[in-house]
């Protein structure tokens, strides 16, 4: 659990002259602000709370043993109490006297007044003797007895509903119109001992809390059983990886008398307010230094009393004289106790955004949508409406990668309408993708960026992620049905090369397999510098390093990397995982070797090899605008403008270390394996910046060349020839290469980094518009100067802004082939080839290579073509089922050392994440330290 600021509690009043021993129970009068308090010091006390918050003692009476329960009569004239002395007593306010009115054969755990009709009332007492007895104060013997299956641990009454929680997890429901019979008996939905129960104010159900740090919401009638759910709370996730969560008992449940929301409090010393109907945590506070055994709302819910006192959960040894023992009075706020408004578009409308350019009229919606009610999981979205509509409506969904990196990188540094000039000022992005398409940025999976989830419920596998994302799409489009029938394009970069195909496949499978489910038209996928085929892409680090002069292939440093590659391949031969520790070490080895080779104290930027960064960040401090992103997204006014839920409790960070360290995808197939199936139904565009190392274009092109789809391998056609690589010019400059065949388009961007849209927003929008088949000649607009193969395509809306580009160096294909061959030879692969295939096999191989080259002789190659000669070498409450209020303490970030860890593919430009209610001063440093030990390099 994160350390959170409890500033909202600084004005809470401490009750004067509290009990001398632990507090066991509290109850407010329904007529005035009188608070009754039961204590282990064998005494009952009544306090009056004045309007200024001061308290005055009004009465006190004693039991012969600890007092365990108390309750006010409906008319506020009497207080009942029961205790370990097996006696029930009633104090009369008017006379100031108490008398014993009830007796059991074992301690009385709970007392409640019940309505007996005709203005009279009875006292119900529940005991460890396995009975509930009903007492008329005019008689010495009980008027009736209810036998129970076990000892009474908790009991509550509202109207004609009585709920009794007993030992062995029995829950007994009693209709008080027939008080001697049990209406229903069932096992608690929670797995461990019941600690507390509380009835809904309207009597339709109840909440139950247990020692396992979990709460359940249960309805009485069979017709309402679908509304039942459970959620985790009062749990603490240690900072260390693979450490078990600390689980605390839920000691107290209290319902607000007017709003029907409720509170939980526990042995961890925290309390939280919840809305059961929206399955949402309204507000939560961090541990206060002592367990909380009891809580209570006053008659109108404006005061919340909570006891900081020992609950005996750790034995008598812990109950020292120094242990806190006090009652605090908290003035409630609407945001804490009022039900959450039902989700509607107006709730998500962004009315204004700090720092917007003057005259900006972009229509925006933003906020959190629950996708995992059981674990308080919600995804954050930021939607921008398109500026113009071409021939039809289109929506582009953008995702960044990591795993664990926020799509706010894409929104504020790449393809969104605005970029940050500084931490206070937004400027328009002339290459924004919202020109002819609605833009939807989503922080996912849960726990990333402004999204959140219980800290022990981060996702592990890609199918889980896709299922949750489909839930998000259903809820988003239900709220914004005007976009539901758009042509939907899913775009992103880096590790989103896994996310995007998995999401598309989930939609594709549902469209085909469930005619009754909502169908979406996935019109295409766009993946930049994607991490899709680990086995092939790990193998591309050395060729890329040699061709770019990052390593000298004859050096000892290169030999060390080649040895690491051998270990990687041996591990991959056993089983291919999306992330592999030994293979991630290859990139780390390249970075270290380059540092030694150049005798540098700094490090190569793995996202743009033209740049350098401090060691061991190696690019994690890039791009420069990251320094503006986190401060901006942590501004309270920005958080408010973007409608961030209060459940998001930690500050925004670019990459969330806890998500990265959990999302290993060890049982998920690489997306490359089913990309061919997707290509049957939808076009796919892969693009790559040629200066990126971590997800470099050599590996992507090798993957394409070896992949079979729609009847052929690679870019081969029916005539046996490969599709031509067409040179692409933009604004009179050589911009890259285009190649297309059978629904797959590949674009290599010259002089561009891992985050291509960051470098060339106008060029990427030109690529997007071509892919979406936008032709502004039919609607009017200013066209860009963009030519493929010397020919101008359909007029695009991008007004080109010329940028200086370095001239392309001479064709390096032959040099790269030789460098790669030598690398494999030194790694031991050539020897293996000769042993297994022999000279004849080698001759056949060379013959085939030459045939391929002859077939492709017409391909246009850029002078910077780095390819191989063969061709492209490639709760909270559910929110409620939240465990503990989700404090993503580790949410701060993945930027850290590569030492002792592998690489993580970054997908976005924005840096750190933010949470509406503040964050720890040391979160960034802590997460960076954790990253060094536990995560891979980020593929943003």
| Catalytic site positions | 494, 692, 754
- How would you classify residue 428: left for phi > 0, otherwise alpha for psi between -120 and 50, otherwise beta? beta
CA distance 545 to 245: 43
| 343, 439 Cβ separation under 8 angstroms | no
CA distance 133 to 146: 6
Which two three-digit tokens encode residue 534?
């680990």
Q: What is the DSSP code string of 41-99?
A: TSEEEEEEEPTTS-EEEEEEEE-SS-EEEEEE-TTSSEEEEEETTSEEEEEETTTTEEE
CA distance 611 to 279: 48
Edge-to-edge strand order for the sheet containing 108-117? Answer: 108-117, 120-127, 131-135, 144-147
If residue 929 lies in a helix (H) or strand (E), which one and from where to where?
helix 923-934
Residues ≥6 apart with Cβ < 8 Å to 740 = 723, 746
- How would you classify residue 599: left for phi > 0, otherwise alpha for psi between -120 and 50, otherwise beta? left
CA distance 673 to 709: 11
| 740, 793 Cβ separation under 8 angstroms | no
Q: Which long-range CB contacts under 8 A does 176-182 form with residues at least 24 apart?
A: 176/114, 176/115, 179/114, 179/124, 179/134, 179/144, 179/146, 180/144, 180/145, 180/146, 181/146, 182/146, 182/148
Report in angstroms the alpha-carbon separations of 419 from 234, 356, 400, 529.
39, 10, 16, 21
E strands present in 385-477: 394-399, 418-420, 426-428, 438-443
Q: Is the dihedral of CA 123, 124, 126, 131 positive or negative?
A: positive
CA distance 402 to 912: 13
CA distance 395 to 832: 50
- In 3D space, the residue among 50, 55, 111, 49 whose CA is nearest the CA of residue 81 turns out to be 111
Q: Is the dihedral of CA 258, 261, 266, 268 positive or negative?
A: negative
Greatest CA separation for the chain:
111
Report in angstroms the alpha-carbon separations of 248 from 234, 237, 288.
6, 11, 14
| 546, 509 Cβ separation under 8 angstroms | no
CA distance 785 to 802: 10
| 506, 470 Cβ separation under 8 angstroms | yes
- Phi, psi for residue 913 in degrees, rounded to 5: -105, 165
Q: Kindly report the number of other CB atoms within 10 A of residue 846's CB atom.
A: 10
């Amino acid at each position: 659990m994160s350390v959170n600021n409890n500033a909202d509690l600084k004005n809470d009043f401490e009750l004067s002259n509290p009990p001398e021993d632990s507090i066991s129970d509290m109850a407010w009068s329904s007529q005035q602000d009188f608070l009754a308090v039961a204590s282990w010091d064998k005494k009952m006390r009544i306090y009056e709370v004045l309007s200024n918050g001061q308290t005055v003692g009004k009465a006190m009476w004693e039991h012969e043993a600890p007092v365990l329960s108390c309750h006010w009569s409906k008319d506020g004239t009497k207080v009942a109490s029961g205790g370990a002395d097996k006696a029930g007593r009633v104090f009369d306010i008017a006379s100031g006297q108490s008398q014993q009115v009830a007796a059991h054969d074992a301690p009385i755990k709970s007392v409640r007044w019940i309505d007996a009709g005709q203005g009279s009332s009875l006292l119900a007492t529940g005991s460890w003797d396995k009975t509930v007895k009903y007492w008329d104060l005019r008689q010495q013997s009980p008027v009736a007895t209810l036998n129970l299956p076990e000892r009474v641990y908790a009991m509550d009454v509202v109207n004609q509903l009585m709920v009794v929680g007993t030992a062995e997890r029995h829950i007994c429901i009693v209709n008080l119109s027939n008080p001697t019979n049990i209406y229903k008996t069932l096992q608690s939905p929670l797995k461990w001992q019941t600690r507390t129960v509380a009835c809904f104010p309207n009597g339709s159900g109840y909440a139950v809390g247990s020692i396992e740090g979990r709460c359940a919401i249960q309805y009485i009638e069979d017709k309402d059983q679908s509304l039942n759910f459970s959620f985790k709370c009062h749990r603490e996730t240690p900072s260390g990886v693979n450490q078990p969560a600390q689980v605390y008992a839920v000691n107290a449940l209290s319902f607000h008398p007017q709003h029907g929301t409720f509170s939980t409090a526990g042995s961890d010393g925290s309390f939280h307010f919840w809305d059961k109907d929206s399955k949402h945590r309204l507000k939560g506070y961090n541990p206060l230094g002592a367990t909380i055994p009891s809580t209570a709302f006053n008659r109108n819910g404006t005061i919340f009393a909570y006891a900081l006192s020992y609950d005996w959960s750790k034995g008598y040894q812990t109950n020292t004289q120094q242990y806190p023992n006090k009652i605090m009075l908290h003035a409630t706020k609407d945001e804490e106790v009022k039900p959450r408004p039902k989700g509607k578009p107006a709730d998500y409308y962004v009315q204004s955004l700090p720092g917007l350019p003057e005259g900006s009229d972009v229509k925006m919606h933003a906020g959190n949508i629950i996708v995992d009610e059981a674990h308080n999981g919600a995804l954050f979205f930021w939607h921008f409406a398109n500026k113009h509509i071409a021939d039809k409506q289109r929506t582009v969904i953008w995702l960044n990668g990591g795993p664990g990196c926020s799509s706010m990188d894409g929104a504020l540094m790449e393809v969104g309408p605005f970029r940050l000039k500084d931490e206070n000022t937004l400027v328009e992005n002339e290459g924004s993708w919202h020109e002819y398409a609605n833009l939807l940025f989503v922080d996912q999976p849960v726990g990333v960026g402004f999204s959140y989830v219980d800290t022990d419920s981060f996702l592990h596998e890609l199918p889980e992620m896709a299922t949750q994302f489909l839930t998000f799409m259903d809820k988003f489009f239900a709220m914004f049905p005007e976009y539901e029938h758009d042509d939907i394009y899913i775009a992103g970069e880096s590790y989103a090369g896994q996310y995007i195909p998995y999401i598309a496949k989930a939609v594709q499978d549902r469209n085909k397999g469930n005619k009754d489910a909502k169908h979406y038209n996935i019109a295409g996928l766009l993946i930049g510098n994607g991490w899709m085929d680990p086995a092939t892409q790990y193998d591309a680090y050395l060729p890329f390093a040699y061709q770019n002069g990052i390593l000298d292939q004859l050096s000892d440093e290169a030999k060390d990397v080649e040895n690491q590659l051998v270990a990687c391949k041996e591990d991959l031969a056993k089983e291919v995982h999306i992330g592999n520790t030994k293979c991630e070490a290859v990139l780390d080895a390249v970075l270290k070797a380059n540092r030694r080779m150049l005798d540098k104290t700094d490090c190569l930027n793995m996202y743009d090899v033209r740049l350098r960064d401090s060691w061991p960040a190696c690019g994690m401090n890039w791009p420069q605008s990251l320094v503006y992103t986190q401060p901006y997204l942590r501004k309270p006014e920005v958080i408010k403008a973007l409608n961030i839920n209060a459940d998001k409790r930690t500050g925004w960070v670019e990459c969330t270390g806890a998500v990265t360290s959990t999302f290993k995808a060890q049982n998920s197939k690489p997306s490359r394996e089913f990309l061919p199936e997707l290509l049957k139904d939808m076009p796919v565009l892969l693009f790559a910046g040629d200066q990126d190392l971590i997800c470099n274009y050599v590996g992507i092109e090798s993957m394409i060349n070896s992949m079979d789809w729609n009847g052929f391998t690679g870019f081969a056609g029916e005539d046996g020839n490969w599709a031509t690589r067409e040179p692409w010019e933009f604004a009179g400059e050589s911009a890259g290469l285009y190649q297309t065949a059978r629904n797959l388009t590949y674009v290599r961007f010259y002089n561009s980094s891992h985050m291509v849209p960051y470098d060339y927003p106008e060029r990427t929008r030109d690529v997007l518009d071509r892919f979406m088949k936008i032709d502004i000649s039919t609607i009017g607009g200013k066209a860009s100067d963009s030519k493929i193969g010397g020919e101008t395509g359909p007029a695009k809306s991008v007004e080109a802004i010329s940028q200086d580009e370095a001239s392309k160096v001479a064709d390096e294909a032959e040099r790269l082939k030789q460098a790669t061959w030598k690398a494999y030879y030194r790694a031991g692969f050539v020897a293996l080839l000769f042993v297994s295939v022999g000279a004849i096999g080698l001759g056949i191989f060379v013959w085939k290579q030459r045939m391929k080259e002859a077939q492709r002789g017409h391909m246009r190659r850029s002078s910077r073509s780095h390819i191989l000669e063969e061709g492209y070498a490639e709760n909270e409450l559910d929110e409620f089922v939240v465990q503990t209020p989700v404090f993503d303490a580790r949410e701060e970030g993945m930027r850290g050392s590569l030492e002792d860890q592998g690489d993580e593919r970054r997908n976005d430009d924005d840096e750190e994440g933010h949470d509406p209610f503040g964050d720890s001063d040391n979160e960034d440093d802590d997460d960076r330290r954790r990253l060094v030990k536990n995560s891979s390099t980020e593929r943003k």
